[in-house]
A and B are shown apart, each in its own frame.
Chain A
Amino acid sequence: MSFIELKDVSKSYGPRNVLSGVNLTLDEGEFVSIVGASASGKTTLLKAAAGLIPYDKGSITMAGEAVTDFSTKASYIFQNYSLLPWLSAFENVNLAVEAAFPDWPKPMQKEQSEKYLQMVGLGAALLKKPSQLSGGMRQRVSIARAFATEPRVMFLDEPFGALDALTRATLQQELTTLCRSVGRPVTALMITNNVDEAILLSDRILALSRGPGATLSPAVSVNLPRPRGADLLMHDDQAIRVRNHLAEFLLAGSDRERPAQRPEAPAASKDVPVEASI
Protein backbone atom coordinates (compact mmCIF):
# COMPACT_ATOMS: atom_id res chain seq x y z
CA MET A 1 0.00 0.00 0.00
CA SER A 2 1.25 3.43 -0.79
CA PHE A 3 2.32 5.65 2.09
CA ILE A 4 0.78 8.89 0.93
CA GLU A 5 -2.20 8.89 -1.36
CA LEU A 6 -4.05 11.80 -2.95
CA LYS A 7 -7.27 10.77 -4.69
CA ASP A 8 -9.13 13.13 -6.95
CA VAL A 9 -8.19 16.18 -4.90
CA SER A 10 -9.72 19.49 -5.94
CA LYS A 11 -9.30 22.91 -4.44
CA SER A 12 -10.75 26.28 -5.31
CA TYR A 13 -10.15 29.74 -3.91
CA GLY A 14 -13.56 31.30 -4.35
CA PRO A 15 -14.45 31.08 -8.03
CA ARG A 16 -10.86 30.26 -9.02
CA ASN A 17 -10.37 26.55 -9.47
CA VAL A 18 -6.72 25.86 -8.59
CA LEU A 19 -6.52 22.07 -8.56
CA SER A 20 -8.95 19.68 -10.20
CA GLY A 21 -8.84 15.93 -9.80
CA VAL A 22 -5.23 15.51 -8.67
CA ASN A 23 -4.15 11.90 -8.12
CA LEU A 24 -0.81 11.05 -6.58
CA THR A 25 0.70 8.20 -4.62
CA LEU A 26 4.03 7.98 -2.83
CA ASP A 27 5.56 4.77 -1.59
CA GLU A 28 7.47 4.79 1.65
CA GLY A 29 11.00 6.04 1.17
CA GLU A 30 10.28 7.45 -2.27
CA PHE A 31 11.41 10.89 -3.41
CA VAL A 32 8.77 12.38 -5.70
CA SER A 33 8.94 15.79 -7.35
CA ILE A 34 6.26 17.87 -8.95
CA VAL A 35 7.45 20.38 -11.51
CA GLY A 36 5.32 23.22 -12.71
CA ALA A 37 5.51 26.86 -13.64
CA SER A 38 5.07 29.47 -10.94
CA ALA A 39 1.42 30.17 -10.10
CA SER A 40 0.37 26.77 -11.42
CA GLY A 41 -0.91 25.64 -8.01
CA LYS A 42 2.16 23.72 -6.87
CA THR A 43 2.27 25.25 -3.42
CA THR A 44 -1.45 24.74 -2.97
CA LEU A 45 -1.01 21.08 -3.83
CA LEU A 46 1.90 20.66 -1.42
CA LYS A 47 0.17 22.48 1.43
CA ALA A 48 -2.98 20.44 0.94
CA ALA A 49 -0.96 17.21 0.89
CA ALA A 50 0.79 18.27 4.10
CA GLY A 51 -2.50 19.08 5.81
CA LEU A 52 -1.72 22.78 6.13
CA ILE A 53 -4.73 23.93 4.13
CA PRO A 54 -8.12 22.26 3.63
CA TYR A 55 -9.17 20.93 0.24
CA ASP A 56 -12.63 20.80 -1.30
CA LYS A 57 -13.03 17.36 -2.81
CA GLY A 58 -11.29 13.99 -2.86
CA SER A 59 -9.21 12.39 -0.13
CA ILE A 60 -5.66 12.58 1.18
CA THR A 61 -4.31 9.80 3.36
CA MET A 62 -0.97 9.20 5.04
CA ALA A 63 -0.19 5.67 6.28
CA GLY A 64 -3.84 4.84 5.77
CA GLU A 65 -5.16 7.72 7.89
CA ALA A 66 -6.97 10.77 6.55
CA VAL A 67 -4.82 13.90 6.66
CA THR A 68 -6.60 16.62 8.61
CA ASP A 69 -3.75 18.58 10.14
CA PHE A 70 0.00 18.79 9.78
CA SER A 71 1.26 15.35 10.80
CA THR A 72 3.58 14.76 13.74
CA LYS A 73 5.60 12.52 11.43
CA ALA A 74 6.25 15.27 8.90
CA SER A 75 8.62 18.16 8.33
CA TYR A 76 8.26 21.07 5.95
CA ILE A 77 11.03 23.06 4.29
CA PHE A 78 10.11 26.52 3.06
CA GLN A 79 11.55 28.30 0.08
CA ASN A 80 12.41 31.39 2.12
CA TYR A 81 14.04 29.41 4.99
CA SER A 82 11.59 30.79 7.55
CA LEU A 83 14.07 30.86 10.40
CA LEU A 84 13.19 32.92 13.45
CA PRO A 85 15.61 35.87 13.30
CA TRP A 86 15.82 36.36 17.06
CA LEU A 87 17.09 32.84 17.64
CA SER A 88 20.54 31.49 16.83
CA ALA A 89 21.02 28.62 14.36
CA PHE A 90 21.17 26.22 17.29
CA GLU A 91 18.09 27.68 18.98
CA ASN A 92 16.12 27.49 15.74
CA VAL A 93 16.85 23.79 15.42
CA ASN A 94 16.48 23.10 19.12
CA LEU A 95 13.04 24.69 19.16
CA ALA A 96 11.90 22.06 16.66
CA VAL A 97 13.62 19.26 18.57
CA GLU A 98 12.05 20.33 21.88
CA ALA A 99 8.62 20.38 20.27
CA ALA A 100 9.12 17.00 18.58
CA PHE A 101 10.66 15.20 21.55
CA PRO A 102 9.28 16.89 24.66
CA ASP A 103 10.08 13.85 26.83
CA TRP A 104 13.77 13.82 26.08
CA PRO A 105 16.09 15.27 28.71
CA LYS A 106 17.59 18.64 27.80
CA PRO A 107 21.15 17.43 27.09
CA MET A 108 19.78 14.82 24.70
CA GLN A 109 17.75 17.44 22.82
CA LYS A 110 20.81 19.65 22.64
CA GLU A 111 22.91 16.80 21.31
CA GLN A 112 20.34 16.02 18.64
CA SER A 113 20.23 19.64 17.44
CA GLU A 114 24.00 19.92 17.34
CA LYS A 115 24.34 16.62 15.52
CA TYR A 116 22.10 17.71 12.67
CA LEU A 117 23.70 21.12 12.39
CA GLN A 118 27.07 19.38 12.13
CA MET A 119 25.65 17.11 9.43
CA VAL A 120 24.87 20.13 7.26
CA GLY A 121 28.31 21.56 7.97
CA LEU A 122 27.30 24.27 10.41
CA GLY A 123 29.02 22.91 13.50
CA ALA A 124 31.02 26.12 13.77
CA ALA A 125 28.06 28.47 13.33
CA LEU A 126 25.79 27.21 16.11
CA LEU A 127 25.52 30.55 17.85
CA LYS A 128 25.17 32.71 14.76
CA LYS A 129 21.90 34.51 14.14
CA PRO A 130 20.25 33.96 10.74
CA SER A 131 21.13 37.53 9.76
CA GLN A 132 24.82 36.62 10.10
CA LEU A 133 24.47 33.65 7.73
CA SER A 134 24.42 33.53 3.94
CA GLY A 135 21.36 32.33 2.05
CA GLY A 136 22.82 28.89 1.56
CA MET A 137 23.72 28.56 5.23
CA ARG A 138 20.25 29.67 6.27
CA GLN A 139 18.69 27.00 4.11
CA ARG A 140 21.13 24.53 5.67
CA VAL A 141 19.85 25.47 9.12
CA SER A 142 16.33 25.02 7.86
CA ILE A 143 17.21 21.59 6.43
CA ALA A 144 18.85 20.61 9.72
CA ARG A 145 15.73 21.77 11.55
CA ALA A 146 13.55 19.64 9.27
CA PHE A 147 15.64 16.48 9.63
CA ALA A 148 16.39 16.83 13.36
CA THR A 149 12.80 15.99 14.23
CA GLU A 150 13.38 12.60 12.55
CA PRO A 151 10.40 12.86 10.24
CA ARG A 152 9.07 10.03 8.11
CA VAL A 153 7.79 12.48 5.54
CA MET A 154 9.42 15.60 4.21
CA PHE A 155 7.57 18.28 2.29
CA LEU A 156 9.83 20.57 0.32
CA ASP A 157 8.47 23.83 -1.09
CA GLU A 158 10.98 24.91 -3.75
CA PRO A 159 13.74 24.49 -1.18
CA PHE A 160 16.52 25.83 -3.36
CA GLY A 161 14.51 28.37 -5.33
CA ALA A 162 16.10 31.39 -3.71
CA LEU A 163 19.73 30.23 -4.04
CA ASP A 164 22.35 30.82 -6.70
CA ALA A 165 23.19 27.96 -9.06
CA LEU A 166 26.39 26.85 -7.31
CA THR A 167 24.97 26.81 -3.80
CA ARG A 168 21.91 25.11 -5.21
CA ALA A 169 23.98 22.24 -6.63
CA THR A 170 25.87 21.71 -3.36
CA LEU A 171 22.75 21.71 -1.27
CA GLN A 172 20.99 19.33 -3.64
CA GLN A 173 23.80 16.86 -3.10
CA GLU A 174 23.64 17.34 0.66
CA LEU A 175 19.91 16.78 0.69
CA THR A 176 20.32 13.47 -1.12
CA THR A 177 22.99 12.42 1.34
CA LEU A 178 20.85 13.41 4.33
CA CYS A 179 17.81 11.56 3.02
CA ARG A 180 19.88 8.39 2.80
CA SER A 181 22.02 8.78 5.91
CA VAL A 182 19.40 9.15 8.63
CA GLY A 183 18.97 5.39 8.78
CA ARG A 184 15.27 5.09 8.04
CA PRO A 185 13.14 5.62 4.98
CA VAL A 186 12.26 9.27 4.43
CA THR A 187 9.41 9.83 2.03
CA ALA A 188 9.78 13.17 0.30
CA LEU A 189 7.46 15.26 -1.79
CA MET A 190 9.12 18.26 -3.41
CA ILE A 191 7.73 20.96 -5.66
CA THR A 192 10.02 22.91 -7.93
CA ASN A 193 10.02 24.90 -11.12
CA ASN A 194 13.38 23.45 -12.06
CA VAL A 195 13.24 20.24 -14.14
CA ASP A 196 16.96 19.54 -13.69
CA GLU A 197 16.67 19.76 -9.94
CA ALA A 198 13.81 17.28 -10.04
CA ILE A 199 15.86 14.86 -12.17
CA LEU A 200 18.83 15.08 -9.80
CA LEU A 201 16.82 14.36 -6.67
CA SER A 202 13.79 12.27 -7.51
CA ASP A 203 12.73 8.69 -8.03
CA ARG A 204 9.66 9.86 -9.88
CA ILE A 205 8.63 13.16 -11.39
CA LEU A 206 5.21 14.50 -12.29
CA ALA A 207 4.41 17.72 -14.06
CA LEU A 208 1.60 19.96 -12.95
CA SER A 209 -0.28 21.54 -15.83
CA ARG A 210 -0.79 25.25 -15.76
CA GLY A 211 -3.79 26.35 -13.71
CA PRO A 212 -6.56 27.18 -13.33
CA GLY A 213 -7.79 23.67 -12.71
CA ALA A 214 -4.32 22.15 -12.74
CA THR A 215 -3.91 18.38 -13.01
CA LEU A 216 -0.86 16.11 -12.85
CA SER A 217 0.80 14.45 -15.79
CA PRO A 218 1.52 10.70 -15.68
CA ALA A 219 4.62 10.05 -13.60
CA VAL A 220 8.06 9.65 -15.17
CA SER A 221 10.45 7.34 -13.37
CA VAL A 222 14.08 8.34 -13.02
CA ASN A 223 16.19 5.23 -12.61
CA LEU A 224 19.59 6.85 -12.56
CA PRO A 225 22.19 5.71 -10.05
CA ARG A 226 22.95 7.97 -7.10
CA PRO A 227 24.71 10.17 -6.37
CA ARG A 228 23.83 12.05 -9.50
CA GLY A 229 26.21 14.73 -10.69
CA ALA A 230 25.21 17.74 -12.69
CA ASP A 231 27.14 16.42 -15.74
CA LEU A 232 24.62 13.59 -15.91
CA LEU A 233 22.01 16.02 -17.12
CA MET A 234 24.06 16.89 -20.17
CA HIS A 235 25.14 13.42 -21.29
CA ASP A 236 22.87 10.72 -19.96
CA ASP A 237 20.24 9.58 -22.46
CA GLN A 238 17.64 8.84 -19.84
CA ALA A 239 18.06 12.20 -18.15
CA ILE A 240 17.70 13.94 -21.50
CA ARG A 241 14.62 11.89 -22.35
CA VAL A 242 12.96 12.63 -19.02
CA ARG A 243 13.67 16.29 -19.36
CA ASN A 244 12.30 16.49 -22.89
CA HIS A 245 9.22 14.58 -21.89
CA LEU A 246 8.47 16.94 -19.01
CA ALA A 247 9.24 19.99 -21.09
CA GLU A 248 6.81 18.79 -23.74
CA PHE A 249 4.08 18.35 -21.18
CA LEU A 250 4.67 21.75 -19.64
CA LEU A 251 4.82 23.41 -23.05
CA ALA A 252 1.69 21.67 -24.30
CA GLY A 253 -0.06 22.72 -21.15
CA SER A 254 0.88 26.32 -21.61
CA ASP A 255 -0.23 26.28 -25.27
CA ARG A 256 -3.54 24.71 -24.50
CA GLU A 257 -4.55 26.64 -21.43
CA ARG A 258 -3.25 30.09 -21.81
CA PRO A 259 -4.94 31.69 -24.82
CA ALA A 260 -8.34 30.26 -23.92
CA GLN A 261 -8.48 30.84 -20.20
CA ARG A 262 -6.07 33.66 -19.56
CA PRO A 263 -6.65 36.12 -22.35
CA GLU A 264 -5.15 38.91 -20.25
CA ALA A 265 -1.70 37.29 -20.24
CA PRO A 266 0.68 38.73 -22.83
CA ALA A 267 1.63 36.33 -25.61
CA ALA A 268 5.32 36.90 -25.04
CA SER A 269 5.29 35.15 -21.68
CA LYS A 270 4.03 31.92 -23.24
CA ASP A 271 7.36 30.14 -23.17
CA VAL A 272 8.49 31.44 -19.81
CA PRO A 273 7.77 28.34 -17.73
CA VAL A 274 9.89 26.05 -19.86
CA GLU A 275 12.67 28.45 -20.51
CA ALA A 276 13.01 29.00 -16.81
CA SER A 277 13.36 25.31 -16.20
CA ILE A 278 15.75 24.20 -18.88
Chain B
Amino acid sequence: MKQFLNNLALSLVGLFIVGGLWALLSATVSPDLPSPWRTWQESKVYILSPWEKRGEMDQGIGLMTAYSLFRVAKGFFLAILIGTPLGFMLGSSNTFFKMFDPTIQLLRPISPLAWLPLGLVLFRQSEPAALFTIALCSMWPTVINTMTGVRAIPQDYLNVARVLRLSKWRQFTKVWLPATLPYMFTGYRLSLGIAWLVIVAAEMLTGTPGVGGFLWQEYNSLIYSHILLSILTIGIVGFALDRMMGFAETKLRAI
Protein backbone atom coordinates (compact mmCIF):
# COMPACT_ATOMS: atom_id res chain seq x y z
CA MET B 1 0.00 0.00 0.00
CA LYS B 2 2.79 2.38 0.93
CA GLN B 3 4.58 1.39 -2.26
CA PHE B 4 1.41 2.13 -4.20
CA LEU B 5 1.00 5.61 -2.68
CA ASN B 6 4.64 6.31 -3.35
CA ASN B 7 4.27 5.33 -6.99
CA LEU B 8 1.10 7.37 -7.30
CA ALA B 9 2.82 10.43 -5.84
CA LEU B 10 5.72 10.04 -8.27
CA SER B 11 3.46 9.72 -11.29
CA LEU B 12 1.55 12.83 -10.18
CA VAL B 13 4.86 14.71 -9.94
CA GLY B 14 5.65 13.58 -13.49
CA LEU B 15 2.26 14.72 -14.69
CA PHE B 16 2.75 18.07 -12.99
CA ILE B 17 6.15 18.56 -14.66
CA VAL B 18 4.73 17.85 -18.11
CA GLY B 19 1.81 20.17 -17.38
CA GLY B 20 4.28 22.84 -16.32
CA LEU B 21 6.24 22.46 -19.53
CA TRP B 22 2.99 22.77 -21.47
CA ALA B 23 2.13 26.00 -19.65
CA LEU B 24 5.66 27.31 -20.16
CA LEU B 25 5.61 26.57 -23.88
CA SER B 26 2.26 28.25 -24.43
CA ALA B 27 3.40 31.28 -22.43
CA THR B 28 6.70 31.70 -24.27
CA VAL B 29 7.53 30.20 -27.68
CA SER B 30 4.19 29.02 -29.06
CA PRO B 31 1.39 31.47 -28.39
CA ASP B 32 -1.01 29.40 -30.52
CA LEU B 33 -0.87 26.59 -27.99
CA PRO B 34 -3.61 27.21 -25.41
CA SER B 35 -2.39 27.12 -21.84
CA PRO B 36 -3.71 24.39 -19.51
CA TRP B 37 -5.94 26.90 -17.83
CA ARG B 38 -7.41 28.23 -21.08
CA THR B 39 -7.94 24.65 -22.24
CA TRP B 40 -9.93 23.96 -19.12
CA GLN B 41 -11.89 27.22 -19.41
CA GLU B 42 -12.90 26.55 -23.00
CA SER B 43 -13.50 22.81 -22.56
CA LYS B 44 -15.31 22.66 -19.26
CA VAL B 45 -18.73 22.80 -20.84
CA TYR B 46 -17.89 19.56 -22.65
CA ILE B 47 -16.45 17.93 -19.56
CA LEU B 48 -18.96 19.11 -16.97
CA SER B 49 -22.00 18.10 -19.02
CA PRO B 50 -20.53 15.16 -20.88
CA TRP B 51 -23.84 13.72 -22.12
CA GLU B 52 -25.32 16.89 -23.57
CA LYS B 53 -26.10 16.96 -27.28
CA ARG B 54 -26.17 20.47 -28.74
CA GLY B 55 -25.61 19.55 -32.39
CA GLU B 56 -24.19 16.82 -34.61
CA MET B 57 -20.55 17.74 -33.94
CA ASP B 58 -21.11 19.69 -30.74
CA GLN B 59 -21.67 17.11 -28.04
CA GLY B 60 -20.39 16.41 -24.56
CA ILE B 61 -17.12 14.54 -24.33
CA GLY B 62 -18.81 11.51 -22.82
CA LEU B 63 -21.09 11.12 -25.82
CA MET B 64 -18.22 11.63 -28.25
CA THR B 65 -16.14 9.00 -26.48
CA ALA B 66 -19.08 6.62 -26.44
CA TYR B 67 -19.52 6.93 -30.22
CA SER B 68 -15.84 6.23 -30.75
CA LEU B 69 -15.77 3.34 -28.30
CA PHE B 70 -18.80 1.78 -29.92
CA ARG B 71 -17.18 2.03 -33.33
CA VAL B 72 -13.92 0.59 -32.01
CA ALA B 73 -15.78 -2.25 -30.33
CA LYS B 74 -17.43 -3.21 -33.60
CA GLY B 75 -14.18 -3.06 -35.56
CA PHE B 76 -12.21 -4.87 -32.87
CA PHE B 77 -14.83 -7.58 -32.62
CA LEU B 78 -14.68 -8.06 -36.37
CA ALA B 79 -10.88 -8.19 -36.17
CA ILE B 80 -10.71 -10.93 -33.56
CA LEU B 81 -13.55 -12.80 -35.22
CA ILE B 82 -11.47 -13.05 -38.38
CA GLY B 83 -8.03 -12.94 -36.82
CA THR B 84 -8.35 -15.76 -34.28
CA PRO B 85 -9.34 -18.55 -36.70
CA LEU B 86 -6.81 -17.22 -39.20
CA GLY B 87 -4.11 -17.44 -36.54
CA PHE B 88 -5.17 -20.97 -35.66
CA MET B 89 -4.99 -22.03 -39.28
CA LEU B 90 -1.60 -20.41 -39.81
CA GLY B 91 -0.24 -22.01 -36.67
CA SER B 92 -1.52 -25.49 -37.29
CA SER B 93 -0.88 -25.96 -41.00
CA ASN B 94 2.54 -25.49 -42.50
CA THR B 95 1.13 -25.40 -46.01
CA PHE B 96 -1.31 -22.69 -45.03
CA PHE B 97 1.48 -20.76 -43.33
CA LYS B 98 3.77 -20.90 -46.35
CA MET B 99 0.88 -19.91 -48.57
CA PHE B 100 -0.32 -16.86 -46.67
CA ASP B 101 2.47 -15.65 -44.43
CA PRO B 102 4.21 -13.56 -47.14
CA THR B 103 0.92 -11.86 -48.02
CA ILE B 104 0.24 -11.10 -44.37
CA GLN B 105 3.70 -9.66 -43.87
CA LEU B 106 2.98 -7.46 -46.88
CA LEU B 107 -0.39 -6.23 -45.62
CA ARG B 108 0.64 -5.76 -42.00
CA PRO B 109 2.64 -2.52 -42.24
CA ILE B 110 0.01 -0.68 -44.31
CA SER B 111 -1.24 2.44 -42.54
CA PRO B 112 -4.93 3.01 -41.76
CA LEU B 113 -4.71 6.16 -43.86
CA ALA B 114 -4.09 3.95 -46.86
CA TRP B 115 -6.90 1.49 -46.17
CA LEU B 116 -9.59 4.07 -45.51
CA PRO B 117 -9.92 5.41 -49.08
CA LEU B 118 -10.17 1.82 -50.29
CA GLY B 119 -12.91 1.19 -47.76
CA LEU B 120 -14.76 4.29 -48.93
CA VAL B 121 -14.51 3.11 -52.51
CA LEU B 122 -15.74 -0.37 -51.58
CA PHE B 123 -18.59 0.56 -49.26
CA ARG B 124 -19.45 4.12 -50.39
CA GLN B 125 -20.31 5.01 -46.79
CA SER B 126 -18.11 6.28 -44.02
CA GLU B 127 -19.30 3.98 -41.25
CA PRO B 128 -18.55 0.59 -42.89
CA ALA B 129 -15.36 2.04 -44.31
CA ALA B 130 -14.23 2.99 -40.81
CA LEU B 131 -15.03 -0.50 -39.50
CA PHE B 132 -13.21 -2.07 -42.44
CA THR B 133 -10.12 0.01 -41.68
CA ILE B 134 -10.17 -0.69 -37.94
CA ALA B 135 -10.63 -4.43 -38.46
CA LEU B 136 -7.96 -4.69 -41.12
CA CYS B 137 -5.35 -2.73 -39.17
CA SER B 138 -5.96 -4.18 -35.74
CA MET B 139 -6.26 -7.80 -36.83
CA TRP B 140 -2.54 -8.57 -37.19
CA PRO B 141 -1.42 -8.81 -33.58
CA THR B 142 -4.27 -11.26 -32.95
CA VAL B 143 -3.34 -13.31 -36.01
CA ILE B 144 0.34 -13.41 -35.19
CA ASN B 145 0.02 -14.05 -31.47
CA THR B 146 -2.55 -16.80 -31.97
CA MET B 147 -0.28 -18.38 -34.55
CA THR B 148 2.69 -18.21 -32.21
CA GLY B 149 0.59 -19.67 -29.41
CA VAL B 150 -0.51 -22.61 -31.52
CA ARG B 151 3.05 -23.31 -32.57
CA ALA B 152 4.24 -23.10 -28.98
CA ILE B 153 1.87 -25.81 -27.71
CA PRO B 154 4.24 -28.20 -25.94
CA GLN B 155 4.71 -31.53 -27.71
CA ASP B 156 3.77 -33.22 -24.42
CA TYR B 157 0.21 -31.98 -24.64
CA LEU B 158 -0.08 -33.07 -28.24
CA ASN B 159 1.22 -36.51 -27.24
CA VAL B 160 -1.42 -36.70 -24.52
CA ALA B 161 -4.14 -35.86 -27.02
CA ARG B 162 -2.83 -38.62 -29.29
CA VAL B 163 -2.46 -41.23 -26.56
CA LEU B 164 -5.89 -40.52 -25.08
CA ARG B 165 -7.32 -40.68 -28.60
CA LEU B 166 -9.24 -37.44 -28.14
CA SER B 167 -11.63 -36.53 -30.93
CA LYS B 168 -10.68 -33.53 -33.08
CA TRP B 169 -13.21 -31.34 -31.29
CA ARG B 170 -11.97 -32.37 -27.84
CA GLN B 171 -8.37 -31.85 -28.91
CA PHE B 172 -9.34 -28.35 -29.89
CA THR B 173 -11.37 -27.44 -26.80
CA LYS B 174 -9.30 -29.27 -24.18
CA VAL B 175 -5.75 -28.91 -25.49
CA TRP B 176 -5.31 -26.37 -28.27
CA LEU B 177 -7.59 -23.63 -27.04
CA PRO B 178 -6.46 -23.56 -23.38
CA ALA B 179 -2.81 -23.83 -24.39
CA THR B 180 -3.17 -20.90 -26.80
CA LEU B 181 -5.45 -18.69 -24.72
CA PRO B 182 -2.73 -16.61 -23.00
CA TYR B 183 -1.13 -15.83 -26.36
CA MET B 184 -4.50 -15.00 -27.86
CA PHE B 185 -5.21 -12.53 -25.11
CA THR B 186 -1.88 -10.80 -25.59
CA GLY B 187 -2.90 -10.48 -29.23
CA TYR B 188 -6.31 -9.08 -28.29
CA ARG B 189 -4.74 -6.51 -26.02
CA LEU B 190 -2.39 -5.28 -28.73
CA SER B 191 -5.20 -5.35 -31.29
CA LEU B 192 -7.44 -3.23 -29.10
CA GLY B 193 -4.64 -0.70 -28.71
CA ILE B 194 -4.24 -0.45 -32.47
CA ALA B 195 -8.02 -0.26 -33.01
CA TRP B 196 -8.11 2.77 -30.73
CA LEU B 197 -5.22 4.37 -32.63
CA VAL B 198 -6.97 3.81 -35.93
CA ILE B 199 -10.32 5.24 -34.81
CA VAL B 200 -8.95 8.75 -34.70
CA ALA B 201 -7.59 8.56 -38.24
CA ALA B 202 -10.80 6.97 -39.47
CA GLU B 203 -13.04 9.59 -37.86
CA MET B 204 -10.87 12.45 -39.00
CA LEU B 205 -11.03 11.39 -42.61
CA THR B 206 -14.71 10.50 -42.61
CA GLY B 207 -15.87 13.35 -40.40
CA THR B 208 -18.13 11.10 -38.32
CA PRO B 209 -19.03 12.19 -34.77
CA GLY B 210 -16.62 10.85 -32.17
CA VAL B 211 -13.46 12.01 -30.44
CA GLY B 212 -11.40 11.92 -33.63
CA GLY B 213 -14.05 13.63 -35.69
CA PHE B 214 -14.47 16.30 -33.03
CA LEU B 215 -10.71 16.90 -32.97
CA TRP B 216 -10.58 17.48 -36.70
CA GLN B 217 -13.66 19.71 -36.71
CA GLU B 218 -12.33 21.90 -33.92
CA TYR B 219 -9.04 22.21 -35.80
CA ASN B 220 -10.99 23.48 -38.79
CA SER B 221 -12.91 25.84 -36.51
CA LEU B 222 -9.63 27.11 -35.03
CA ILE B 223 -10.61 26.17 -31.47
CA TYR B 224 -7.27 24.76 -30.49
CA SER B 225 -8.05 24.08 -26.87
CA HIS B 226 -10.58 21.47 -27.98
CA ILE B 227 -7.81 19.69 -29.88
CA LEU B 228 -6.00 19.34 -26.59
CA LEU B 229 -9.20 18.17 -24.90
CA SER B 230 -9.57 15.47 -27.56
CA ILE B 231 -5.95 14.43 -27.29
CA LEU B 232 -6.19 14.06 -23.52
CA THR B 233 -9.44 12.11 -23.84
CA ILE B 234 -7.91 9.76 -26.40
CA GLY B 235 -4.93 9.16 -24.12
CA ILE B 236 -7.02 8.50 -21.02
CA VAL B 237 -9.42 6.15 -22.78
CA GLY B 238 -6.58 4.25 -24.49
CA PHE B 239 -4.83 3.85 -21.16
CA ALA B 240 -8.02 2.59 -19.52
CA LEU B 241 -8.64 0.09 -22.32
CA ASP B 242 -5.12 -1.29 -22.07
CA ARG B 243 -5.41 -1.64 -18.31
CA MET B 244 -8.69 -3.45 -18.67
CA MET B 245 -7.27 -5.96 -21.12
CA GLY B 246 -4.15 -6.33 -19.00
CA PHE B 247 -6.34 -7.11 -16.01
CA ALA B 248 -8.29 -9.73 -17.97
CA GLU B 249 -5.00 -11.19 -19.15
CA THR B 250 -3.56 -11.62 -15.66
CA LYS B 251 -6.84 -13.13 -14.46
CA LEU B 252 -6.58 -15.59 -17.31
CA ARG B 253 -2.99 -16.53 -16.64
CA ALA B 254 -3.79 -17.24 -13.02
CA ILE B 255 -6.13 -20.06 -14.03
Contact = CB atoms under 8 A, between A and B. Distances in A.
Interface of A: 52, 70, 72, 75-76, 78, 80, 82-84, 86-87, 95-96, 98-100, 145, 149
B166 to A, nearest CB: 5
A75 B170 contact: no
B178 interface: yes
* Interface core residue of A52, A70, A84 (most chain B CB under 10 Å): A84
* Interface core residue of A52, A78, A83, A99 (most chain B CB under 10 Å): A99
Contacts of A98: 170
B51 interface: no
A87 B167 CA distance: 17
Interface in B139-185: 156-157, 159-160, 162-167, 170, 174-175, 178-179
The 10 closest A-B pairs by CB, nearest first: A86-B178, A76-B163, A82-B156, A96-B164, A82-B160, A99-B164, A99-B166, A99-B165, A95-B174, A70-B163
Contacts of B163: 52, 70, 75-76
B101 to A, nearest CB: 27
B255 interface: yes
B162 A84 contact: no
Contacts of B159: 52, 76, 78, 82
A107 B167 CA distance: 20
27 contacts: A52-B159, A52-B162, A52-B163, A70-B162, A70-B163, A72-B165, A76-B159, A76-B163, A78-B156, A82-B156, A82-B157, A82-B160, A83-B160, A84-B157, A84-B160, A84-B178, A86-B179, A87-B174, A95-B170, A95-B174, A96-B164, A99-B165, A99-B166, A99-B167, A99-B170, A100-B165, A149-B164
A149 B163 CA distance: 11
Given A52-B159, A78-B159, A84-B174, 7 more contacts: A52-B162, A70-B165, A72-B165, A87-B174, A99-B164, A100-B164, A149-B164
A140 B170 CA distance: 23
A145 B160 CA distance: 11
A76 B162 CA distance: 10
Nearest to A75: B163
Contacts of B160: 78, 82-84
B162 A95 contact: no
Given A84-B174, A84-B178, A95 B166 contact: yes
Contacts of B175: 84
Contacts of B166: 95, 99
A52 B174 CA distance: 21
A186 B157 CA distance: 25
A80 to B, nearest CB: 6
A126 B163 CA distance: 22
Contacts of A86: 178-179, 255
Contacts of A52: 159, 162-163
A99 B168 CA distance: 11
Contacts of B255: 86
Nearest to B170: A99
Nearest to A77: B163
Contacts of A76: 159, 163
A80 B159 CA distance: 12
Nearest to B178: A86
* Interface core residue of B156, B175, B178, B179 (most chain A CB under 10 Å): B156
Contacts of A80: 156
A95 to B, nearest CB: 6
A96 B175 CA distance: 13
Interface string B239-255: 00000000000000001
Contacts of A83: 160
B149 to A, nearest CB: 14
A76 B163 CA distance: 7
A52 B149 CA distance: 24
A98 B163 CA distance: 13
A52 to B, nearest CB: 7
A98 B157 CA distance: 17
Nearest to B171: A99
